[in-house]
Structure 1
Amino acid sequence: MTSSTQRRVLIAIDGSRNADYAFEYYCKHIHYSTDTLFLFHFMDPVSMSSDLEESLRELYDIKEAYMDGLQRIFVSKASKYHINKDRLHFHFTCDPPEPGKAICSAAKNSESHLVIMGCRGLSKLKKALIGSVSDHVIRHAGVPVLTVPYAHHK
């Protein structure tokens, strides 16, 4: 794919240093100026009883502030690499209830050509017991997936 080709890239972000590093890796090594970026964040759903209406409003306000903050952070990071903020699209969801399925669904809905995400580097035993989001996405996204392990710099 040449730099003149329009490409749609979904990058999974979650505020972790693994996701931040994956975004920076994209910016430094993969980015084309014609790319359209979909920055996707899965938020864990919260369930509360209906009699806690005030708490729900407060929680909603906190989540809104978090999403706004995350957007500002990534717009700032993108501008550092001269990525036009008009080419950034943010999507936050807490449905479906599993992050791997949500990322695959977002990749399909955005018609992405590539998914980029950080990975935590779970041991084989932990992967076998609890699975891994990146493994699920690799198997089910239907497009190439680049997993970027966090590089521990000293």
Structure 2
Amino acid sequence: MTSSESRVVFVAIDGSQNADYAFEYYCKHIQWKNDRLVLFHFMDPVSISKDLKESLRELYDIKEYYMDGLKRIFTTKAKKYGIDVSQLKFEFTCDPPEPGKAICATAKKYHVQLIIMGSRGLSKFKKALIGSVSDHVLRNSGIPVLTVPFHK
């Protein structure tokens, strides 16, 4: 594949500095002119009983506002780096309830050739204790994964 061909690149975004840095790293160092981007955000699922839905309607409004904000932020960033924003695809999900599984499933859905993720830099102890989303994706996606450590 050459830089003149089209490829699908998946970038995990969550509003963190790590994810922002990973997106900017893609824009500065990896971007090809004809790339189609899938920008993905996993939201923790909120389990709400029928009786509570009315009182928590604001929560859904806040999530919608947050998702719209992420779309605006990353569309603006993409324009800054000369990315054709008509090629951006935003995907927000909270199903399945695990981010690593959701990333793998969404990447396969869009026939992605490269997954780019920020890294939180967990210690070996924390990784062993709670696991790492990027480790899960690397082991289970079957797709090349670039993890970008955040530099202050």
1:149 matched residue in structure 2:
149
Report the Cα distance in structure 1 between the residues aligned to 2:127 and 2:60, rounded to whole angstroms.
Answer: 33
Report the Cα distance in structure 1 between the residues aligned to 2:9 and 2:86, rounded to whole angstroms.
Answer: 14
**Any unmatched runs of 5+ in structure 1?**
none
* 1:18 shift after superposition: 0.2
Q: In structure 2, the residue corresponding to 1:67 is in which secondary structure?
A: helix
Matches within 5 A, 1:5-154: 5-152=5-152
The AA in structure 1 aligned to 2:13 is I
TM-score by length of structure 2 reads 0.98
Report the Cα distance in structure 2 between the residues aligned to 1:53 and 1:138, rounded to whole angstroms.
Answer: 37
Q: Kindly report structure 1 stretches of 4+ aligned residues shifted beyond 3 Å.
A: none
The AA in structure 2 aligned to 1:33 is K
2:14 is aligned with 1:4:
no
* 1:84 shift after superposition: 1.0
Report the Cα distance in structure 2 between the residues aligned to 1:135 and 1:23, rounded to whole angstroms.
Answer: 19
Q: In structure 1, the residue corresponding to 2:11 is in which secondary structure?
A: strand
List per-residue Cα deviations over 1:47-96 (Å, max 9, x = no partner).
12211122332111111110000000000000110111101000000000
Report the Cα distance in structure 1 between the residues aligned to 2:112 and 2:53, rounded to whole angstroms.
Answer: 38
TM-score by length of structure 1 reads 0.96
Report the Cα distance in structure 2 between the residues aligned to 1:61 and 1:81, rounded to whole angstroms.
Answer: 31
* 1:129 shift after superposition: 0.6
Task: Give identity over the alignment, percent.
Answer: 71
